[in-house]
Amino acid sequence: MRTDVESLDEFDAHLGSTGSLAGVVVQSVDLTRRSAVLREADVGGAIFLGCRLRPGDASQLARAGALVFPRLPDLPFDPYRPALYTAEELYRGLERGYADTPDARIFAWARAQLRPGGLDADLSAALHDHAISEALHEAIDGAEHVVGVMGGHAQRRGSEPYRASAHLGHTLAGAGVLVVSGGGPGSMEAANLGASFAGSVAELDAAIGALAAAESWSHDITAWARSAQQVRRDYPCTRQSLGIPTWFYGHEPPNLFASGIAKYFTNALREDFLLRLCRAGVVYLPGAAGTVQEVFQAVTPNYYAPEGEPTVPLVLVGARYWTETVPVWPLLQSLAKGRTMASSIQLVDSVDEAFAALSAAGRAAVPRALG
């Protein structure tokens, strides 16, 4: 088993109990006051990721058999961060406007630096996304049932689709499910809002009404985010849910209702983790190209699943939308004909039916959560 050390207290506790750092991964810890113990401890096979070290300590650790990844200068983010982001962290400084927040500054860095041939920036982004993936695995550790709620960013607060997504998130979280969304606005925000909401459905509807009074994120991100901050202060948004957004879509800010935010630079990696985690099922609300991509990315492992192996339940909400407006359903039916995946895909017209479909599909595997 790998041992991760992510704070100075953990460092001292581990060294005090074992007397060794051999094989340990130490991530983003300030070790400038631990020079003496670093020189005395066994550090063979240890990995130090972006730790603060006194001059000379890094070379000494390398000579003693450790692998040292240095801190990288002039970045608006920590490429070795040990935990997921929070809304408070990404929106720090919002009182001065969205442009002053870490989320906006990191996006500005990505637009300026991530380009073909930019090896140092590419390496920084890759290290960051690896750290986020590690933190994401830790965040879901122990979660028995994880369901994804996918949908478009264009759904307006207060609209029926937005309200339906919030109600679905609320119902799923109430059943003991960890809800995961794409982490952006629209249906994704609604799913995280509902999942986080510890109050009644009536209170949830009141919170949605308060959000709907603010400007749309596409017109004024600052006002949109401030209204979410106010709702979080006024209502019990205390339950866990996760958002997995990306800086690839720079126009799409992360919503503030996910308790943990796994924000990636690389959208392909983000999509892979987003769907891979949702083993208890994925619900697709109406959306555009991004949502369609997520449908078929999740369908592919179901399509190739050998006979008898479990598949992930995939539920599309909105028969007319998925049949006529964006005709994904006919193609799915064609692909599913005669294959194991046929039983894993369903088309329904309401979020109540979506919950029932997940319950039916997961009765054997997730009885406590969805049965």
The CATH number of the domain holding residue 273 is 3.40.50.450
Using 50, 70 and 90 to split pLDDT, how confident is the model at 366?
A: very low
Specify whether 156 is located in the same domain as 302: yes
Q: What is the pTM (predicted TM-score) of this model?
A: 0.91
Distance between CA 258 and CA 270 in Å, rounded?
16
* 364 pLDDT higher than 70: no
Specify whether 57 is located in the same domain as 182: no
pLDDT for the residue numbered 368: 44
Q: What residues make up the domain containing 294?
A: 137-370
- Among 40, 37, 38, 27, which residue's Cα sits nearest to residue 69? 27
Specify whether 43 is located in the same domain as 190: no
Specify whether 337 is located in the same domain as 247: yes
Specify whether 327 is located in the same domain as 219: yes
- Among 263, 261, 170, which residue's Cα sits nearest to residue 208? 170
Mean pLDDT along residues 226-237: 98
| Structure tokens given for 253 | 């800010």
CA-to-CA dists, residue 264 to 170, 182, 191, angstroms: 26, 11, 20
Specify whether 145 is located in the same domain as 260: yes
Give tens-digit pLDDT for 316-360: 999 999 999 999 999 999 999 989 899 999 999 999 999 999 988
Specify whether 262 is located in the same domain as 341: yes
Distance between CA 195 and CA 192 in Å, rounded?
5
Q: How many domains, in total, are found in the chain?
A: 2
Q: What is the number of alpha carbons within 13 Å of residue 64 lying toward its C-beta?
A: 21
Give tens-digit pLDDT for 114-130: 988 788 999 999 999 99
* 259 pLDDT higher than 50: yes
